[in-house]
A and B are shown apart, each in its own frame.
Chain A
Amino acid sequence: AQKVTQAQTEISVVEKEDVTLDCVYETRDTTYYLFWYKQPPSGELVFLIRRNSFDEQNEISGRYSWNFQKSTSSFNFTITASQVVDSAVYFCALSEANFNKFYFGSGTKLNVKP
């Protein structure tokens, strides 16, 4: 069965601190996709990244970086030099290769204080 675990319910940091959001997944599929979404208080889901199971390269996009490790079934997300605007709920998710189903983690609420 597919499952995504975000063990951190809520994290609070002070602006400019680095913060890592953890994501651990379970799947028996060899081909799958992993995602991160940001959900600000307004509610919409903002797409951050999609990674397929065959691409273990880490990715950096500005202050955001992602560490994908199949050996530990983890897809962690790091925000460098956090800003107040980063405050939101962040969801990690897993989908089957044919986009048939999408499994969300429980989300991590990030509070960045000035």
Chain B
Amino acid sequence: GAVVSQHPSWVICKSGTSVKIECRSLDFQATTMFWYRQFPKQSLMLMATSNEGSKATYEQGVEKDKFLINHASLTLSTLTVTSAHPEDSSFYICSATDRLVYGYTFGSGTRLTVV
């Protein structure tokens, strides 16, 4: 079956620093990857959609300069939270699809805490 690996599982960083989250499809080529954010007791909100080799498409209200998304290969997408602030603390989860055989496969999520 399709597996998506997301690292790190949790990270604590200081305010003002940047943190990178990786999302890898292990056994399929992910044409498209999605990044979601989930606040406590809320649903998952789509932040952006990235297609391999092209710029990510951000949802309304998501700051492109703050949440940098790179999808440089068919198996790897990264989300960099730049100049993190406490309000960026959240649960971030990625998903990937090859749009053919595999539907959506979700990573295990990253819990980010900014202190």
**Residue ranges of A at the interface with B (Cβ–Cβ < 8 Å):** 33, 35, 37, 43-45, 47, 50, 91, 95, 98-102, 104-107, 109
Contact = CB atoms under 8 A, between A and B. Distances in A.
A45 B106 contact: yes
Interface string B77-115: 000000000000001010101010001111011010000
Given A43-B108, A98-B99, A107 B34 contact: no
Contacts of A91: 43-44
Interface residues of B, number: 20
A55 to B, nearest CB: 14
Nearest to A97: B99
Given A43-B91, A91-B43, A91-B44, A102 B104 contact: yes
Interface of B: 32, 34, 41-44, 46, 49, 91, 93, 95, 97, 99, 103-106, 108-109, 111
A107 B43 contact: yes
A100 B51 CA distance: 10
Looking at A33, A45, A109, the one whose CB has the most chain B CB atoms below 10 A away is A45
Given A43-B91, A43-B109, A99 B43 contact: no
Contacts of A106: 42-43
